[in-house]
């Protein structure tokens, strides 16, 4: 969610059960709203423990109370975090809920409702019809998020953050996608190391027929011919890159792939004729690489290794050779391919967290093996490695650094926007030059006995 709040989009991985992935999508959609049209609603007979459960799962405790426990029921009160503090979990909500409410009538505009909420100094503003039935809800925390994160990537209509998630191309992924769409998914990334396959083409056709409003990002591809197949199938966007990621060894082991800059330029030039944007996926190590990808025609970049060391990235920090690092592995690594294998009972018992059953942890398909079409292979051939990356701090500081760095780069180039940059490349006003080995040395830090490299402050 931090990526969305700062103007990017984080993609939820699918190397987990479909239920767990759907829960993550639901959490993103509930994080920020305009009018909340599907709020959690309880009845007076529910207990404090039910509010605590909602708070633990979804992160909030401001819950309206209606006679039916559902949207459309008569509004009786509201329960907030303060109402349940120091209360027994078995206490009925009828004894703790606040009944002196400030509401707004159905049909009120978002701006008017925000003004009422601001002046009331309350945390929640229920919207009711003329009969006092709850129709939606407005939250003060969403006002604060809107103020604190003006660049947030969100739907203009609902003010909810965009939710993006990855799926594979197997039959089980269709069932997975159904759960994700039900949870509110906006963008689906079809995850495959080689996107130009009958599996992915069939998947795109099925998604477009079943969920016509869902945005589909297909890939990965590196040639015009690969891109043409996916564009013809109905892809809304393409991921470009094969073997260029920091933890990918496809080009080395398989002798398959393409230099990333060449791939981005070729595919972007072709896809632009059909109005299909591309994402440069792989090889982004610094601000300069982002600018190069944009100049070559990419509409966005996908960053794995660059963000892997941030606080919000999965995994725990540990120390390696005196430096604070996090583990980072490729989907093509043996470690990723072996995830989810049944283990000894003692290990399985120790893996249980948050009430997730053994079955949920062991029965979902391994996304790494399906990504490389090797589910049934007796021998797993690695196309990635596992390693660690240095601590980069919070993404909430790191992404603004990247954003500001791109702005400075465009300023130095002499263009005002990404569109002007790409137009300048096409017109020959912005040019790439071949740098010799000595020129690259000259362009880096040199001639010092020692130095400290701080990227941002």
Which positions are annotated as active-site residues? Answer: 248, 371
For residues 43 and 60, give the distance between their C-alpha atoms in angstroms, rounded to a whole number.
17
Whether residue 170 is annotated as binding a ligand: the answer is no
Beta bridge partners of 279: 239, 300
Pairing of β 11-12 and β 75-79: unpaired
Please check if 329 is assigned to a binding site. yes
Quickly tell me which residue has 């190391």 as its tokens: 193
CA distance 208 to 205: 5
Residue 114: phi and psi, rounded to 5, are -65, -40
Tell me if 220 sits within 8 A of 192, measured CB to CB: yes
Residue 430 phi/psi, 5-degree rounding, is: -110, 125
Say if residues 420 and 305 touch (Cβ distance below 8 Å).
no
59 known ligand binder: no
C-alpha 325/C-alpha 319 separation (Å) is: 6
- Name which of 236, 179, 183 is nearest 25 in CA terms: 183
Let me know: does 315 contact 295? Beta carbons within 8 Å. Answer: no
Residue 246 annotated as lining a ligand binding site: yes
Strand partners, 281: 302
34 appears as a binding residue in the annotation: no
What span, in angstroms and rounded, lies between the C-alpha atoms of 148 and 146? 6
Is 241 annotated as contributing to ligand binding? yes
φ, ψ of residue 315 to 5 degrees: the values are: 105, 165
Instruction: Tell whether 332 is in a known binding site.
Output: yes
DSSP string, 23-73: HHHHHHHHHS-SSBSS---B-TTSBHHHHHHHHHHHS---EEEESSSSTTS
What is the residue whose two structure tokens read 């947030």? 152
281 appears as a binding residue in the annotation: yes
Are the CB atoms for 433 and 292 separated by under 8 Å? no
Alpha-carbon dihedral of residues 335, 339, 343, 348, nearest 10 degrees?
Answer: 120
- 280 within 8 A of 293, measured Cβ to Cβ: yes
88 is in an annotated binding site: no
E strands, 185-298, are 187-190, 215-221, 237-240, 278-281
- Chain centroid to Cα 307, Å, comes to 12
Annotated binding residue at 304? Answer: yes
Q: Is 45 annotated as a binding residue?
A: no
User: Is 305 annotated as ligand-binding?
Assistant: yes
> Is 192 within any annotated ligand binding site?
yes
Residues in the annotated binding site for IMP: 246, 281-283, 304-305, 328-332, 383
Residues in the annotated binding site for K(+): 243, 245, 248, 438
Residues in the annotated binding site: 191-193, 241-243, 245-246, 248, 281-283, 304-305, 328-332, 383, 438
Residues in the annotated binding site for NAD(+): 191-193, 241-243
């Amino acid at each position: 969610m931090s990526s969305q709040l700062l103007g990017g989009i984080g993609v939820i991985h699918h190397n987990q059960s479909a239920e767990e992935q759907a829960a993550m999508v639901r959490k993103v959609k509930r994080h920020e709203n305009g009018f909340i049209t599907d709020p959690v609603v309880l009845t007076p007979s529910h207990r404090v423990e039910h509010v605590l459960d909602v708070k633990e799962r979804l992160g909030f405790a401001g819950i309206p109370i209606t006679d039916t426990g559902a949207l459309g029921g008569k509004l009786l009160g509201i329960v907030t975090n303060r109402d349940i503090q120091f209360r027994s979990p078995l206490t009925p909500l009828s004894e703790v809920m606040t009944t002196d409410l400030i509401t707004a009538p159905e049909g009120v505009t978002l701006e008017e409702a925000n003004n009422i909420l601001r002046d009331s100094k309350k945390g929640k503003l229920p919207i009711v019809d003329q009969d006092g039935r709850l129709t939606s809800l407005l939250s003060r925390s969403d006002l604060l998020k809107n103020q604190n994160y003006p660049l947030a990537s969100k739907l203009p209509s609902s003010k909810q953050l965009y939710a993006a998630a990855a799926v594979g191309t197997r039959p089980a992924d269709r069932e997975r996608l159904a759960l994700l769409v039900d949870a509110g998914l906006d963008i689906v990334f079809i995850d495959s190391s080689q996107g130009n396959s009958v599996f992915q083409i069939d998947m795109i056709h099925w998604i477009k027929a079943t969920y016509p409003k869902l945005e589909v990002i297909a890939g990965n591809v590196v040639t015009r011919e690969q891109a043409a197949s996916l564009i013809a199938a109905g892809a809304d966007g393409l991921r470009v890159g094969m073997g260029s990621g920091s933890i990918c060894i496809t080009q080395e082991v398989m002798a398959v792939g393409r230099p990333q800059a060449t791939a981005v330029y070729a595919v972007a030039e072709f896809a632009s004729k059909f109005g299909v944007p591309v994402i440069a996926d792989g090889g982004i190590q610094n601000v300069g690489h982002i600018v190069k990808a944009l100049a070559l025609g990419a509409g966005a970049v996908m960053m794995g290794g660059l963000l892997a060391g941030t606080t919000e990235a999965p995994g725990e920090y540990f120390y390696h050779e005196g430096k604070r690092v996090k583990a980072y592995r490729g989907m093509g690594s043996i470690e990723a391919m072996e995830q989810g294998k049944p283990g000894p009972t003692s290990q399985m018992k120790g893996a249980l967290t948050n009430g997730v059953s053994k079955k949920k942890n062991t029965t979902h398909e391994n996304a790494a093996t399906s990504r490389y079409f090797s589910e049934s292979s007796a021998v797993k051939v690695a196309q990635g490695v596992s390693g660690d990356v240095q601590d980069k701090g919070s993404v909430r500081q790191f992404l603004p650094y990247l954003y500001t760095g791109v702005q400075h780069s465009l300023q130095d180039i002499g263009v005002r926007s990404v569109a002007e940059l790409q137009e300048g490349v096409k017109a020959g006003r912005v040019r790439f030059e071949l740098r010799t080995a000595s020129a690259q040395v000259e362009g880096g830090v040199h001639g010092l006995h020692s130095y400290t490299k701080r990227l941002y402050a």
